Amino acid sequence: MPKTFYNRLKQKIQKIRLRKQGVIIHNNTAFFNISFRGTAVVEPYCRLIGDPKIEVGNNFYANSGCHFLGEITFGDDVMIGPKTIIWGRDHGMAIDMPMYGQEHKKAPVVIGNDVWIGAGVIILKGVTLGNGVVIGAGSVVTKDVPDNAVAMGNPARVIKFRD
């Protein structure tokens, strides 16, 4: 969304409406095509851009500097550490034309309930994190993670399961 006066005013009004619902979006945060099903806190300097939509469950927390883009669904009780990137699309890589001119390839990202994502994690398109998952700081998640798993690394691998 361009930084016009009208769009800034529109976001300010939307933030006031969301606050009445229990959603706190701090300053210097951009959000577009996002819906909240309950309470949430989004710290400063985040970008949440739904393409086509981001859906956020109840009791959601995103620390500062997060960047979410694509079709993303968050369950309830999700905590996300600072500077986490969730990217639901990327460019095509066909050899017959330059990459910058190719259409985006999109796949939804699904985050289950009671999930803790550490600082600086990158989650790529098409990934599903099950319920009760913990992702270690600095991990790059390229594949699905089953329920109650603890995963970390680049690429992220399951190292154990929660008791």
Which positions are catalytic? 91
Give 135-140's long-range contacts (Cβ < 8 A, gap of 24+). Answer: 137/81
Cis check for the bond before 146: say yes or no (omega within 30 of 0). Answer: no
Q: Which tokens sit at 61? A: 């927390």
Cis check for the bond before 52: say yes or no (omega within 30 of 0). Answer: yes
Residues 34 and 56 sit within 8 Å (Cβ to Cβ): yes
Q: Which tokens sit at 145? A: 């993670």
